Structure 1
Amino acid sequence: MVDFSAISLENQEVIDFLRRDLRLKSIYQEIISQKIVSQVAQEQALSVTAEEVQAELDKIRYENYFEHPAQLLAWLAEQMSTLSDLQQRIYERLLSQKLARHLFSEAAQNFFSQHRSEFEQALIYRIKIPYESLAYEVFYQIEEEELNFFEAAHLYDANESRRLQCGYAGKQQRGEISPEIAERLFNAQIGEVLGPFKNADNTYELFLVDEIFPPTLTSTLYESLLNQMFQEWIENRLDIYISSLRPSQDTERS
């Protein structure tokens, strides 16, 4: 691995490169977002303990197979970073997580309760067929038991990876499927073949529902809702922050 630690670059060189590479805005956004998090967390009396930071450090050592602290330090040096930098980054990440839970834990649970049906899941198989006439022909062959759905998927599905899995599309939430199709799918009998449904690209699809799963607020779904709400809040606070700077900037220009 190339060691960059001996290379010296002027700060302006780095900024100019990031500007040319169209990454400067995102870095500004991340820095200001972290300032907002730190300020609001302080207002809410939230903090991260040294023990919590150390626990995350131990995870990093375990995940990277660093048996000794010296290996972690050597790896950080290769990244042109320090243990203090890593500890600060861990602190900031944990603080953001605590603030997200503090602000939106109840809201995430309420959103799930109010939109339960959107999180209903179905284990489905599907066949995408490029022509309407062929789609109906395949459908009638399945109906007449001339071939089963899985054989038809293996023969006709235009999606190659799905064709190799005989139409298997996995679990999908109701909210991820167009409303008119979702209404049929989630009211279908298990094993019932539905379609053909016309897609926006003028292809046609057949569906088979293998299993229906009631909506459940899993830890993964909870974290997803929490993160979405937190990111929307951050974006709103960023807009407020930037707007607050504009009058003074306009005054300076005049």
Structure 2
Amino acid sequence: MSKSLNVSNEDILYQIKISAQFPGLVEAIACRKIITDTAEKVGIKLELEELQQAADNLRLTNKLLKAEDTWAWLEKHHLSLDEFEALAYTNQLSNKLATHLFAEQVEPFFYEHQLDYAGAVTYEVILDDEDLALELFCALKENEISFQEIARQYIEEPEIRRAGGYRGIQRRQDFRPEIAAAVFAATPPQILKPIITPKGVHIILVEEIIEAKLNEQLRVKILADLFAVWLKQQIAELEIVTQLNCDRTQVALP
């Protein structure tokens, strides 16, 4: 026989508080209010076609390919159809406001920070012993051993070991500063002299440096980053007053 459990609004609010999620929740509410208020002030409105596209994107993001998938997802998240549309509306309004505020700033920002968006294809082995790292580095320079052989011997994680220490394409901010400086000064293909960090002694093969290009994917990322910074600035300037009742939370923004 199945058992039932009643969860009240008080229970939900209490759990949010004791799990230290309350500040994040309040900030999310503040963001939504800032977006809707600012969009209204600058005269941004959504057409029916835009709202439909936003709803389609939301379903696609959550892999809701069938009607029954959508209804199951709504039930899981305790959302009505109107609330689903409200979520899609807020998402699209946010995108449209970001474009309105920062679309013209994306290209200048990219060229000002172009070096930060360059990529590097690297392979890496991290050791605990500096002397061993120097010995292996010298052996690599003399072609006495291959990087793949070192990876097979000294990398513990199976997936990374099988990939020969491959770290994929990483941007400058993905590396520690001391490693980034060496990686992006390299002339690929190049083995870097061992670099010591708190994680250990790094032996790095720089296979390729990829110059930054302002494609659509990067344009969207920069736009989102600029908008996120703006939102944080807006929140920092607010005095957020929370009023807690037994069954609901109200956030009042001046």
Q: TM-score, normalised by structure 1?
A: 0.82
Checking the alignment, whether the CA contact within 8 Å between 1:127 and 1:158 is kept in structure 2 is no
Gaps of 5+ in 1: 247-254
Looking at structure 2, the residues matched to 9 and 192 of structure 1 have their Cα atoms a distance apart, in angstroms, of 60
Structure 1 residues 60-75: aligned runs within 5 Å: 60=58, 63-66=63-66, 68=67, 72-73=70-71, 75=73
User: Are residue 177 (structure 1) and residue 168 (structure 2) matched?
Assistant: no
**Partner residue in 1 for 2:208:** 211
Q: Which AA in structure 1 matches 2:203?
A: L
Checking the alignment, whether the CA contact within 8 Å between 2:151 and 2:164 is kept in structure 1 is yes
Counterpart of 1:167 (choices 145, 165, 168) is: 165
Q: How many residues align?
A: 238
Deviation, 1:78, is: 4.9
Name which one, 1 or 2, has greater alpha-carbon Rg.
Answer: 1
Q: 1:128 to 1:160 in 2, by over 3 A?
A: farther
**Partner residue in 2 for 1:89:** 87
**Partner residue in 2 for 1:101:** 99
Checking the alignment, whether the CA contact within 8 Å between 1:57 and 1:87 is kept in structure 2 is yes
Determine what percentage of the aligned residue pairs are the same residue: 26
User: Are residue 222 (structure 1) and residue 219 (structure 2) matched?
Assistant: yes
- Give the 3-state SS of the residue equivalent to 2:143 in structure 1: coil
Q: 1:101 to 1:122 in 2, by over 3 A?
A: same
Cα distance per residue 1:78-128 (max 9 Å; x no partner): 543211111111101110111111112222322211111121111111121
- Give the 3-state SS of the residue equivalent to 2:168 in structure 1: strand
- Specify which structure has the higher proportion of helix: 1
Cα distance per residue 1:198-219 (max 9 Å; x no partner): 1124x21111121121111233
**Partner residue in 1 for 2:49:** 51
Deviation, 1:39, is: 0.9
Gaps of 5+ in 2: 243-254
Deviation, 1:8, is: 6.6
Q: TM-score, normalised by structure 2?
A: 0.82
Checking the alignment, whether the CA contact within 8 Å between 1:194 and 1:206 is kept in structure 2 is yes
